[in-house]
Amino acid sequence: MKYCPLCGVVLSDADTHCGLCGSAAVSGKPLAAGASGPQYPANDNTRQAGDSPDASVAKVPDDVALSSAERRRIAVELLSVTLGIALIITILVDLFANHCFTWSRYSSVGIISAWIFSAMPLILIRHPWVLFSVLAPSLLVAVFCFMIFDSPPLVFVTFGLPISLAFEASAAGTGAILAALRRKGLNALGVVLCGISAFCIGIEATVDLNIRHALSLDWSVVVAFALVPSAALLFYLHYRIVDRASLRKLFRL
């Protein structure tokens, strides 16, 4: 039988050194409990020559009853009821006060858009591209409605449509990159910042081309200079400092 003369533990026959302290293994039989060996490892106050054990000197359980799908369904129902009541009341008030649709056109489009953009993600959470195909035209329709109430259709074509498309392109690109990320941590925030930068450039490009008829990027470049280094810092933190920890961990979600 092999054992460690310092730790007093029995080692396997194949071991040449103790797996605990690295001392060379010794053949023989260590003393059992009750023998006169030391009961504690030697320290600076007690260490003496030859000290060794056989030397003679000494989930959180989710108690929530509802599943996530059930919670989502309840949220959709609450949203529908709340926004539906708001829609009816605003229309009725407008009709009683003005006997026609005036300001309630804006509130109605806003409320319906709010329902689409809040309820659809809950309904289509497992189908991101279907969700995008619903939200993208909805956004265009909402912007068109808002603009057509006060402006000629050309304004929508020159400003509303390109800016909406820039937003959708930025959101789609950001979403696609986020979906492709293996570990979503601070790097996800970095991707979002880059998406915001791209959207700002799209806004300024649209405005420049329609008003100045030439591309002259100013403020959006400043925004990009502020956000892109921040994104780089987040990427660095994610991959080098916090060991790719997920947002759930970092924010205790």
Count CB neighbours of 52 within 10 A. Answer: 21
Selected binder of other proteins within 44, 99, 100, 154 (CB under 8 A): 44
Beta pairing, strands 10-11 & 26-27: unpaired
Among 107, 118, 138, 246, binds other proteins (CB under 8 A): 246
List the interface residues with other proteins, window 67-106 (CB under 8 A): 68
List binders of other proteins among 142-201 (CB under 8 A).
182-183
- Least Å distance, CB 242 to other proteins, is 7
Q: How far is the CB of 123 from other proteins (least distance, A)?
A: 16
Instruction: Output the smallest distance, CB 40 to other proteins, in A.
Output: 4
Secondary element (H or E) of residue 3: strand 2-3
DSSP letter string over 154-213?
Answer: HHIIIIIHHHHHHHHHHHHHHHHHHHH-SS-SHHHHHHHHHHHHHHHHHHHHHHHHHHTS
Distance CA 253, CA 250 (A): 8
Phi, psi of 11 (to 5 degrees): -110, 165
Q: Which two tokens stand for residue 39?
A: 């009961």
Query: Using CB under 8 A, which of 16, 27, 49, 59 touches other proteins?
Result: 59
Pick 8 or 162: Cβ nearer other proteins: 8
> With CB under 8 A, what is the number of residues at the site for other proteins?
48
Paired tokens of 149: 């109430």
Structure tokens at 201: 């450039």
Q: Which stretch binds other proteins (CB under 8 A): 53-61, 102-110, 141-149, 160-168?
A: 53-61
- Kindly tell me which of 99 and 252 has the beta carbon lying closer to other proteins: 252
User: Residue 36 CB: number of other CB atoms within 10 A?
Assistant: 10
Which CB, 213 or 240, lies closer to other proteins? 240
CB of 71 to other proteins, least distance (A): 12
| Tokens linked to 80 | 């529908």
**Which tokens belong to 219?**
């403020």
Residues that bind other proteins (CB under 8 A): 3-4, 6-12, 15, 18-21, 30-34, 37, 39-47, 53, 59-63, 68, 182-183, 242-243, 245-246, 248-253
